[in-house]
Chain A
């Protein structure tokens, strides 16, 4: 490499409204890091964006194989977007397996950047190619750019303190540098980040920065990259923004919920993908008096949360599907003892261990009905990464106000995906009431099951409160006294009461809102993480003149009070879900509507176009 400063005198910059880029490589290639860095830089630049990380369940799946491919997709835009994009227009493939796994998604004439050093015979075969895809003609409909990323990395690190195999660890930075050039993104933010991250290993920071720069300079030097692109700042509502993923937003929502209720947070969990990041995030914030308890198993986590709730904490236990199954009996205990509890379920593909790192909405029925006995509780679902913040606060509000366990559903798509979030004004956050009491509530003494006349909530008297000593448990209790009761009429009454209490919450939550064409005869009803794809699909159809509207549920139990009114206005109700049809069963059963499902469980979220096509097809049926 000569020492001449690279220059690009004939560089052109094309302004584009949006671009979807996917980075794909081996799970050890650092694709998540590259994607996150590019995302953060774009966020700081002011783009709207949405991300879709995707990685294997194994930490280091066999190198060079399709199973080991990890990817990160990000859409950046100069307008308000709701999804990480359908088909990427740029694919960076670090090896043949990454190419094989992702090429089919690349848009026609898309930009394909290949790490040419990885296209050795051995790797090509490992990926399952019979012949080198670069010469077979199958890349003909794309704009292919071959970049010697490994050679460049070695060159860049020639004088570095990093030697041997460790050198190649920085090759992801070459890719990031090149993409930064092509999309006119400055390197400073990533340089600062690297210096901070490797504060104690300056040689590592230095090596990565060198690799980052050589990738950028490669773009400057090579004429093929002289046509560059820029995505302008998005015209988002005024305010201060941060880029946040669903797990972090949910964690912050829990901390804030506790604070707004004047309580301390107790979070008990057993590590499980993709919920562990909630445990990690909350463990950092002990200065909020947050206690995190890594339990010996899922059941213990739920049980400790019930205990902490009895002691007066805002108690939360977090998990994913298999863990929810284990917690089921303990959640029933919270239903029976009528203690506030939030159960976070970051859903993943099932059944059993299923697809630990893939999104699915298949725990809806299990969340609503998955307990023995008549065991009703409210269930809420997060619709986007930033929505998790307010939904966690809402879960706390309902748990505390109604003295009930609440299941808060997220899924791998919103948990790991990120988007810009306009920070709320702290003064605008709701103050949460609770049922804590220090006084005797009846003339006959303290009655732990003497209820509030409006909410049917029982009082919350915690140990340490003089004069209110009482015993509760999982055996059926007598209304009022809370004493064990096997009386048949009492059991009927208590069963009905527990159901009324939850059904009554329908009056106290945000009503269902409709968006889209006002003259529509078709409503698309969704819940959870399909919000972005559904809304974008309906927007596209409206632009095309198709009359369709959408509504999205946050509470899936109970349904908001106006749900029946809204559904009854439409001739067709279409329900897209990442399961084989669960909300649709509830809607059909409850409202006797012949709703139509659009369902899939292929380990990927819906793309907006896929839904737009599906909805149009159902409308025309």
Chain B
């Protein structure tokens, strides 16, 4: 990615379009965080593309003064793959929601992650369908009462971190709409990562699913329940740092620090090749209802799809020379008629 010395301000990334989310929506905060980060990222804005599918979050590209493509429901990872592979020099960002990414677009999401296409996926998880006015989503909790589940949802929800890690995504992280510092840190780490990055951002839908993330955003919840994952540091949390995470027989567990020796506390390592530990961390919570890890779960180096595609093309040109139509149409053998 070519970095050029551009000095941007947040307003350089604000488009002239009126933002039309509901007043109080978490999307506003995320938009502000992303616009601020884009100014900081240092990539010239004509090289930045925002691609989205359908849903409230998917309106995001219209509000970014970059290139943008608002596509169709669930397909943003596939569209963005085309954008990115066609021009590997671009910084390509996908903005999506839990329905868009994990329901209608689940297939595209896992394949983009598996292939390690150089796209950054921001999935705003509000655990509800907002734009269609309040049906349960694939991340809604079991028993959730909505218009389409008046007796309570009977579905077990996806754990988005587990899904991404199961697809062996090379970068996996979680943030929270209200926490702009954490969001900025995660965006920065993602932007520096080569390959696909999956970022779940807990996003409050104050109209259809208000207070869904209170356990992590309220004054008390914030200190009690957030498990901040920081690379190279012991995973300790709680109002008085009284809790810790251990990994025993490959399984993560929350323990009272008083019950163990500090040397037994898991020291977070985002670079582990095997995704099992990160996966195990993702199982510490099955939703924002109690202690929940946030931050970067995994960041490993592996070849990007874009690079491999370019390399094969270069190798073919090296071996065969630049393609010539004259040769192509004779490649099956010819004969002359005189």
Contacts and interface: CB of A to CB of B under 8 A. Distances in A.
A297 B335 CA distance: 40
Interface in A206-264: 233-234, 236-244, 248, 252, 255-256, 259, 264
A255 B328 CA distance: 9
A307 B90 CA distance: 12
A465 interface: yes
A333 B51 CA distance: 13
B325 A463 contact: no
A581 to B, nearest CB: 33
A377 interface: no
Given A304-B82, A307-B78, A313-B86, A471 B325 contact: no
7 contacts: A238-B337, A286-B313, A288-B323, A303-B75, A306-B71, A310-B69, A310-B83
Contacts of A238: 337-338
B79 A423 contact: no
B72 A474 contact: yes
B309 interface: yes
B325 A236 contact: no
B85 interface: yes
A355 to B, nearest CB: 27
Interface string B138-158: 000000000000000000000
A259 B328 CA distance: 12
Given A293-B81, A305-B82, 14 more contacts: A252-B325, A289-B317, A296-B78, A306-B82, A310-B79, A311-B90, A426-B325, A463-B46, A469-B46, A470-B67, A473-B52, A474-B70, A474-B71, A484-B62
A307 B80 contact: yes
Contacts of A465: 46
Interface in B13-43: 15, 17
Given A252-B328, A471-B15, A473-B61, A308 B83 contact: yes
A420 B85 CA distance: 36
A237 B90 CA distance: 50
Size range of the chain A interface in the assembly: 35 or more
B89 interface: yes
Nearest to B89: A464
B333 interface: yes
Contact of A46 (B49, B72, B337): B337
A330 B75 contact: yes
Interface string B310-338: 00110111011111011011101111111
B285 interface: no
A466 B48 CA distance: 11
Interface centre among A255, A256, A311, A329 (most CB of B within 10 A): A311
Contacts of A204: none
A441 to B, nearest CB: 16
A399 interface: no
Contacts, number: 214
A244 B332 contact: yes
A312 B328 contact: no
B68 A291 contact: no
Contacts of B330: 240, 242, 423
B108 interface: yes
B256 interface: no
B188 interface: no
Given A297-B107, A426-B325, A242 B332 contact: yes
Given A330-B72, A473-B69, A474-B71, A288 B328 contact: yes
Given A255-B325, A473-B69, A473-B70, A303 B332 contact: no
Interface in B145-180: none
B325 A291 contact: no
Interface string B90-120: 1000000000000000011001000000000
Contacts of B68: 470-473
Interface in A267-293: 268, 285-291, 293
B69 A337 contact: yes
Contacts of A288: 322-323, 328
Contacts of A237: 337
B105 to A, nearest CB: 10
B78 A300 contact: yes
Contacts of A553: none
B87 interface: yes
Contacts of B333: 40, 44, 242-243
B122 to A, nearest CB: 16
Contacts of B335: 43-44, 46, 240-242
B87 A463 contact: yes
A38 interface: no
B9 interface: no
A99 B66 CA distance: 66
Given A287-B317, A288-B328, A306 B79 contact: yes
A202 interface: no
Given A287-B321, A310-B82, A426 B326 contact: yes
A578 interface: no
A468 interface: yes
Contact of B49 (A305, A463, A468, A483): A463
B65 A469 contact: yes
B44 interface: yes
B329 to A, nearest CB: 5
B45 interface: yes
B49 to A, nearest CB: 5
Given A287-B320, A293-B82, A464-B90, A240 B334 contact: yes
A92 to B, nearest CB: 25
A259 B325 contact: yes
A304 B79 CA distance: 4
A296 B107 contact: yes
B47 interface: yes
Interface centre among A337, A429, A473 (most CB of B within 10 A): A473
Given A300-B108, A303-B72, A466 B46 contact: yes
Contacts of A40: 333
B321 A307 contact: no
A303 B111 contact: no
A315 interface: yes
Nearest to A264: B86
Given A46-B337, A300-B75, A330-B72, A311 B325 contact: no
